[in-house]
Homo-oligomer: A and B are copies of this chain.
Amino acid sequence: MARRLKGASSADTRSAILDLIRSSGRVSRIELSEKSGLTEATISKIVRTLIDGGLVVEAGYAESTGGKRPVLLELNAASRYALGVSLDYARISLVLCDINGTVLHSHAIPGARRSKPQAVIDRVAREIGRFLTAHAVVRGDVIGIGVSGAGRLDASGGVLRSSRQTGEWEEFAIEDALGEATGLPVILENDANCAALGEFWSGRVSTAHDFATIYMATGIGCGLVVNGDVYRGASSNAGEIGHVCLDVDGPPCFCGSRGCLEVLATPAAVVRNARERRALWDRLGLREREGEDVRTSFSTIAAAAMSGDSDAAALIRRSADLLAVAVLGLTNIFDLDRIYLAGPGFAIAGPIYLEVVRDVLDRLAFMRKVHPVAVEMGETGPGAAARGAASVVLHSHLTPHHLRG
C-alpha cells in the first residue's frame, strides 16, 4: 500500500488517505503516516484539505502513548453522497449511500421492460430528481451515479446487453445519456462487478485480499477483485462465468456455444426445467407470464425446495451442482481462496447453494492440500446491485484506482 501511495499523483494520494480514514473508522495522523508510508508533514497537509473540504472531521482523542493525546480523525459520512441505480428489466432500484457506503434510502420503480432506452433514462433521471428532493439532498453533494446493468459493456459507455430482447440498448450510451439528463457524473458497471465492489465496501474483505463474487439474478455473473480493484480484462467484461462450458455436447446456448452454465444452471434454466415437470409446475401454481416471472417462478421453486418439496429440491440441487463445478474451474484458474455468493438468486435457496459449493471446493479444489477456499454468502437483497453500483462511485472517487484503465 505504502508504495502505491508514494507513487500516486496528489489527487490519488488524497483519495487514498481518505480511504485509509474510512477503512480505519477512527485514526490519528501518526497512524495514517505509519499505514501510508507518507511523512507526518504530508499527512497533515492532506488532512487539512480534507477537513477544509468538509470530508473529514476531528472526533476526540486517542489514548496517550506518553506525550499529548493524538487527535482522531473520521470520515464526515454525511458530507457527500453516492447514488446507485440498477437498471433491470423487471425493476429499477435506486439507493442513496453516504461516503461510508451505508445505505441511507432506497426506492424501487417499474423496470425497463420493452421501453426505448432514452425513455427509460429520462424516467430514471426524473425519479432521481424526486428522490433527492424527498430526502433533502443537494445535487452538488452527490459525487456521482453508479449504474448497474446486466450484459456486456463497451468502452463508449454503452451496454451490449447480449440478450435476445433488448437489442436497442446495444448502441445506447447510458453514461452519456444519464449524465446529460441529471447533470451528474455517471459510471456504468456490470451487475456482478457492482456486487463484488459492494462486498469490498461492506468492510468484510481486506484491501489485500483477492476474491470472486458470484452474482445470480436471472443469469449468473462473476466479479473478480484483484489487488483491491475489479479485474476488467481487455474490454471491462472479465468474469463472464455464464458462458463457461460444462458439457461440450450439451444443449445449445444463445451465445452460439453448447452446455454453458447459462443454459444449464441459471434461475432461467431452473424455471425452464420446472416447466417440463408438469406435476411440479402445477403443484407450485407456476404460470407462463412475461417479464418478472423468471425471478418470481424461481423464488417459488426455491421456497418449495427449502421447505422440503423433493422435486423442487432436485432442480435446485442440480443447479447448485453445476454452479459448483463452474466455480471449481474459476477457483482453479484464479487460485482463489475466498468466494462470495451474492444477488437475489441466492435470497431463498442460498443455504443449498452454499452447502453444495463448499462441499465441491472442499473435496475437489486443485489447491485443497495447499490452502482452503472460504465460501460465504454476500448480499442477496433486491437492492444488492444498486448498492454495489453506489460502491463503484465511492471506489472510483475515494481510492487511487482508475476505473476503465
Contact = CB atoms under 8 A, between A and B. Distances in A.
A235 B7 contact: no
Given A152-B367, A335-B234, A364-B256, A248 B322 contact: yes
A257 to B, nearest CB: 5
28 contacts: A3-B7, A3-B8, A4-B7, A160-B369, A162-B366, A226-B231, A233-B334, A234-B338, A235-B371, A236-B335, A237-B367, A238-B335, A239-B335, A240-B332, A240-B335, A241-B332, A243-B366, A244-B329, A244-B332, A245-B325, A248-B321, A255-B364, A255-B366, A257-B328, A257-B364, A329-B329, A330-B333, A333-B333
Contacts of A7: 3-8
A107 B235 CA distance: 42
A257 B366 CA distance: 9
A336 B243 contact: no
A210 interface: yes
A222 interface: yes
Contacts of A237: 335, 366-367, 370
A19 interface: no
Identify the interface centre among A3, A160, A338: most chain B CB within 10 Å of its CB: A3
Interface in A117-169: 152, 154, 160, 162
Interface in A183-198: none
Interface in A304-346: 321-322, 325-326, 328-330, 332-338
A249 interface: yes
Nearest to A9: B3
Contacts of A249: 247
Q: Oligomeric state, in number of copies? A: 2
Contacts of A6: 6-7
A40 B338 CA distance: 45
A18 B3 CA distance: 19
A247 B365 CA distance: 17
A262 B160 CA distance: 34
Contacts of A8: 3, 7
A113 interface: no
Nearest to A373: B234
A232 interface: yes
A3 B4 CA distance: 8
A234 to B, nearest CB: 4
Contacts of A4: 7
A232 to B, nearest CB: 7
Given A7-B8, A231-B226, A328-B257, A333 B241 contact: yes
Nearest to A4: B7
A283 interface: no
A233 B336 contact: yes
Interface in A226-276: 226, 231-241, 243-249, 255-257
A246 B248 contact: yes
Interface in A1-32: 3-9, 12
B367 A256 contact: no
Nearest to A261: B329
Contacts of A287: none
A45 interface: no
A27 to B, nearest CB: 22
